[in-house]
A and B are shown apart, each in its own frame.
Chain A
Amino acid sequence: MSHQKEFVDLNKSTHDRASFDCKEPELNTFIRTLASKHMKSGISKTQVLPATISLPTNLVPIFSFFTVAGSTIKRESLPHAEGKKLPVYPVPVFLIAQMAVHDTYQGQGLGQITLIQALKYLLNVNEFMPSYAVVVDCLNGDAEKFYLKFGFVELCKHNGRTRLYLPMKAVIKLFGES
Chain B
Amino acid sequence: MATVRFEMRLEEELKAKVERASALTNCPNLKAYIAEVIEEHANKVIAEHDSFTLKNDVFDSFMVACENASAPNAALIKAAENAKKLGFK
Count of A-B contacts with CB under 8 A?
114
Taking a contact as CB atoms under 8 Å apart, the answer to whether B79 and A116 are in contact is yes
Contact of B52 among A74, A133, A171 (CB under 8 A): A74
Range of interface residues on B (Cβ < 8 Å): 35 or more
B49 lies within 8 A of chain A by Cβ: yes
Taking a contact as CB atoms under 8 Å apart, the answer to whether B56 and A158 are in contact is no
Specify the main secondary structure of chain B where it touches its partner.
Answer: helix
A105 lies within 8 A of chain B by Cβ: no
Taking a contact as CB atoms under 8 Å apart, the answer to whether B66 and A116 are in contact is no
Question: How many residues from A make CB contacts under 8 Å with B?
Answer: 42
Enumerate chain B interface residues (CB-CB to A < 8 A).
49-56, 58-60, 62-67, 69-73, 75-77, 79-84, 86-89
Offer 17 A-B interface pairs, CB within 8 angstroms, sorted by A.
A5-B88, A5-B89, A6-B89, A71-B51, A72-B51, A86-B60, A113-B86, A117-B88, A132-B62, A133-B62, A153-B65, A168-B69, A170-B69, A173-B71, A175-B80, A177-B77, A178-B77
